[in-house]
Each structure stands twice: as C-alpha cells, then as structure tokens.
Structure 1
Amino acid sequence: MGSLLWLALALAIAGAVLNGLGALWQNTAVRDNQTGKLVSIAALVHLLRNRRWLMGQLAVIIGSALHFGALAFAPVTVIQPIGVLGIAVTTVASAKLDRAQLSLGTWLSLAAIVLGVGGFTSLAASNAQVTRVSDETAVLIAMIVGLLLMLLGLIGSIGHGLVRCLAFAAGGGVVFGFASVVIRLAALSLEHGNPTDFPTGSLIGAILSIPVAVWFIQQAHASGPPDLVVAALTLADPIVAIGIGYVALGEGAKTSTVATLAEGVCFLIAAIGIVVLPRMRRKSTSKVSSNLQAQYSES
C-alpha cells in the first residue's frame, strides 16, 4: 500500500476512536437528563450547557473530520468499514466506566468485529476502483437517502425502547454514509481537476442533513445504551456508503466474484459481532449490578 493509503487508514482509525469515545460521553449526558422519551428542542438546548455532552460532541466532530479527511486519499469501500471499530472503543470504555469485566462472549464479539473489518478493508484496498457518477445517479442517491430517513424517522417516532434506539441510530448512520460518499466525490473532482464533476448539490444536501443526523442520534442515546447506538449507527453507515460506492460509483467494477464473496463473508462476520456485542455487554452489566446488590445486602 502507498503512503497516502497508510495515512488514510491512520486518519480513519483515529476518527473511529474519537467517535467511539464521543458517543459514550454523549450517551451518559443525555440519559442523565432524559431516558426513554423523545428529546425535545428545549432539552437539546439544555444539553448545550452540559460539559460532558459538549466534550462528546467535540470528539465526534473531530473524529468525523478525520474520517472525511481519510476519504480524500482512499476509496469509500476501504475507509468506511474502519468506522465500525468505534463500537469496540465504546464497549471497552463503557465497561471501565461501569467497572465491569468484559466476558468471553464480549471479547469474541470484539474479535469478530476487528477481524471482519480488517479482512474487508484489506480486500477492498486491493480491488476498489472508482468511476465518475452522473447527475441523474446523484439525484437518485439523494432521493433514496431522503426516503430512508423519512422511514426510519417514522419508525423511531412511533416505536419505543430498543426499536426507537435502533431506528434513530440507523438514521444517523444513513446520513453519515451518504456524506462520506459525497466527500469522496468532491475529493475525486478536485484530484482529477474536473470542476464540472464537483457534487455541489449533493454536498449542500449532505451539509443540511447533518443537523438531522445529530437530532436522530440524540434520540437514539435517550432510548438505548451507548454500545447499541454505536452498533446500529456503524452498521448502517458502511452499508449505505459501501452500497453506493459499489453500485453508483463503480468501486467494485473490477472486483472478482471470489473477492466479492470474501468481502461479503468478512462483513457478515463483523455484522454478527456488532449484533451480539450489545447483548453480551448487557449480561456483563446485569451480573455486576447483581453482585453489587448482593454485597450491599450482606453489609
């Protein structure tokens, strides 16, 4: 791999770490003030005075900037899966905050995520190719993203508990996946010196959708634990970005059938780890709570 690709990978990994920590800080701040209910505009304004939430938001902003910066040097299919590592950071940090020991199931889930993401990234790095996207395709992508947001927003609004958490977190992931693709298109336009290919309309749409993503993610934090929020967000994010990258941008045009199947297996391994991880963490947390209650009763 070239030096620019190594730089892109380093930026993406640093961004994943900051995003994972930022999500944990935001989750604890939101759930301290509001749990299980839709977060109102007034509650969001109140969070602007919460130092922990602001620290988490700053970490997410810097982490996202590093992630988008990585897209200037490498394809979407290479960079986007690395964001999944944020869930590992959130899980370990959350366990330390709860003073809980990570179970064998938790470690196996984390290993599945890391190995799946690592395998997918290695395969994508050697196979991904990029072509330009037409204006019609860009409009179609924006429309699909908009419909997905409306659907997930509706599910989150009428749902409760984990359903609401998953729907709103996935909505945030859809926005960031779309934004990643747009940033990649803008970088390619500048790199190739083709100002006519610059995705001005899509870039404006992506910027305008970011406040929606922030609102969605805060709703998810109010309805579920941080690892579940990050799990849903980081699973929806690469699915959207990689799907667009492969189908619309042609990044998988020269990928062989065997390589595509191998990438699919790696992604499936990571997805299984993401789905199982929150369940393992909740078991560990419940065990710690039971032990603390037993110690309190004995004393």
Structure 2
Amino acid sequence: MSTTVQLGVAVPAAVAGAAAIGLANAAQSTATHQVPHGNVLDPRLLWNLLRNRTWLVGIGATATGLGLQLLALGYGPLLLVQLLLVSALLFTTIFTAWLRGDGVERPVLVGATLCAVGLGGFLLLAQPRPAGVGPIADMPTTPAAVLLAGLVTVCLAFVRHRARRTRVLILALATGVLYGVTAGLMKLVSGQARVGLAEPLGHWAFYVALLTGVTGFLLSQNTFQAGRHVAPAVAVITIVDPLVAIGLGLVWFGESITLTPAALAGEMLAGTVIVAGVMILARHTERPAGSREYAAPSPAIRCPAPTCCQTPCAARSS
C-alpha cells in the first residue's frame, strides 16, 4: 500500500478519533461531578459512574475514539497520529459549550486557529516518516519503562495531600504519561492485528496496553473529579500524551522527522503556536453549567421537643 493511501486512512481516522475523544472528555467531566468523590484509583468511582447516563455516552465515545486511533496507528506514524489527536481539546471545547447550551466564543476560534496553523506548520516541516510497525530490533525497553513507571508512581505518591489545583495537575501529568505509553503499545498491537485479528493475543504488548489503558482511564476520571473545571486537566493531558508517544515513536519505533537547522527552528516555533492555542482553548473549556456538583444528603434535623410548637424546627432554622 502506498504512503499516500496509508495517510488517506490515518489522517481522517485520527481526526475523527479526536472528535470522539473530545465528546468523551466533555461528557465524563460532567458526570464525575454528579457522583460521590472517591480516593485516587478507587474502582468504586466507576461503579457509581456506571449509573450515570451522561458518563455512559462518554464511554461509547471513548470506545469509538480508541477504535479510530487504533485504525490510524495501523496506517500512519505514531508521531503524526498523536499530533493530530491534539485537536481533541478543540472538540472538547465545542462539545462542552454544546452541553451547557452556549455558543462558541471568539477566543475558542482563535485557539482553534492557532492549533490548526501550528499543527499544519509542524507536519509540513517535520514530514514524519514511519520506519515499521514494530520496535527497533534489540532496542532496550527497560530504561524507558522504569523511567515512565517511576514518574507515574511519584505523581501518585505526592498527590494525596496537595491543594486542589496542584492535585489536578499532578493527576493529569500521570494520566498523560499513561495515555502516551498506551498509544505506543497500541501502535505495536495495530501492526500485529494487520497480520491477523488474533495475533495480538499471543504477545505481551496487548496485555500491557490493557493495563496501562484501564489505569490511565480510571486516573483520568479522578483527574476530572478533582478539579472544578475540565480545562487545566485536559490541557496537561493533551500536551503530555503526544510528547510521550512522539518520544516512543522516535526512539522505539525508529520514526524520523526532518531536523535541519531551519526545519528545527520552524518546528519549535510551530510547537510554541500549538501550545499557545491549547492554553487559550483550555482557559475557555469550563465545566458545563448544567452539571451539578454532587452533595451528600444532609442529616435530618430532629426537634428536641416536638410538642413545643407547631412550626417544625427545620423550617425555623432555614
């Protein structure tokens, strides 16, 4: 299959996957504020969310997004696919505005334009080139695995007693790392699946991808629930996820980009434009106004002397 045909499959699939992930972010961030708060990585949070219809819509969108991402990774370079998934923040903003019944504001259009220009400029200059569907032979994976696992462990160790804003950023950082690792593993799994649908079941990458993917997903729900707004969390995840995946693509899969001095300077400028667009979008991606914050029921007020008056104590205390 020619490179043009492969990109003709990978690019639309990656953009459609970003749209599905954007819908998932908007729906899930709304739902996590409608259920009781739990501890980090507490599976009871998922049990509570299973009874929330908005969250179930997000789950359907997540499954669709992952399927499209897997399709894109099967035909395109990891670097290209993960960069295009940055546009998920734009779709998150649009769907969040839709959920709360608002129009798309001018800063959102500015941020979206910056992201589109930055992505287009970076891809035009970098010209990412695939090397293969599998990792480089004899490439040691232990150092990278230890480094990334250690980073996630440190994040989880320090998150417990932090202020709300710091807690959100730390959880989002760990989520982004896990998502980036999962994307790299999905690239490997997608290559195996092209040989045969049952082929990935005989390799370790499929099972590790399940572990990191499920852990990252649960952690993302904790991240959404920890903050009053979805914006900071999505911004951090949107930046960290592709950075980790791109690093794996360059080092582990042997993908390459143009690194002449002129191209490198342009790529750095385009990256700066992308980050600026992400931050502008993030500032205008608020939690939907229609999503009510969960509040535990307050205990009933008992009247010490029910016969003392005809007006209930609860009414008099209001």
Structure 2 residue corresponding to 1:149, chosen from 132, 144, 152: 152
**What is aligned with 1:92?**
94
Q: For the residues of structure 2 that align with 1:219 and 1:43, how far apart are their CA atoms?
A: 8
CA contact (8 A) 2:50 2:56 kept: yes
Q: Report the alpha carbon displacement of residue 88 of structure 1 after superposing the two structures with TM.
A: 0.5
Structure 1 residue corresponding to 2:171, chosen from 148, 165, 168: 168
Aligned residues: 280
Structure 2 residue corresponding to 1:222, chosen from 194, 203, 225: 225
- When structure 1 is superposed on structure 2, of 16-25 and 174-183 the one drifting more is 174-183
- RMSD of the TM alignment (CA)? 3.0
SS in 2 for 1:99: coil
Q: Report the alpha carbon displacement of residue 192 of structure 1 after superposing the two structures with TM.
A: 9.5
Q: Is the counterpart of residue 235 in structure 1 residue 239 in structure 2?
A: yes
Q: For the residues of structure 2 that align with 1:53 and 1:268, how far apart are their CA atoms?
A: 34
Structure 1 residue corresponding to 2:162, chosen from 152, 159, 164: 159
CA contact (8 A) 2:35 2:48 kept: no
Q: Which amino acid aligns with 1:130?
A: A
TM-score, normalization: structure 2? Answer: 0.77
SS in 2 for 1:137: coil
Q: Report the alpha carbon displacement of residue 106 of structure 1 after superposing the two structures with TM.
A: 2.9
Q: Report the alpha carbon displacement of residue 206 of structure 1 after superposing the two structures with TM.
A: 2.2
CA contact (8 A) 2:11 2:81 kept: yes
Q: For the residues of structure 1 that align with 2:246 and 2:174, how far apart are their CA atoms?
A: 16
**What is aligned with 1:262?**
266
CA contact (8 A) 1:142 1:202 kept: no
| Identity percentage of aligned residues | 26
Q: For the residues of structure 1 that align with 2:130 and 2:125, how far apart are their CA atoms?
A: 12
Judged with a 3 Å threshold, the aligned counterparts in structure 2 of structure 1 residues 23 and 203 are, in CA distance, closer, same or farther, namely same
**What is aligned with 1:139?**
142
Q: For the residues of structure 2 that align with 1:168 and 1:78, how far apart are their CA atoms?
A: 26
Q: Report the alpha carbon displacement of residue 111 of structure 1 after superposing the two structures with TM.
A: 1.5
Q: Report the alpha carbon displacement of residue 129 of structure 1 after superposing the two structures with TM.
A: 4.1
**What is aligned with 2:123?**
121
Q: Report the alpha carbon displacement of residue 9 of structure 1 after superposing the two structures with TM.
A: 0.5
Q: Which has the higher helix share?
A: 1
Q: Which amino acid aligns with 1:226?
A: V
Deviation string, structure 1 residues 123-146 (Cα, Å, up to 9, x no partner): 34x342426424552222222221
- When structure 1 is superposed on structure 2, of 62-71 and 32-41 the one drifting more is 32-41
Query: Greater CA radius of gyration, 1 or 2?
Result: 2
Structure 2 residue corresponding to 1:47, chosen from 35, 46, 49: 49
TM-score, normalization: structure 1? Answer: 0.82
Q: For the residues of structure 2 that align with 1:147 and 1:187, how far apart are their CA atoms?
A: 27
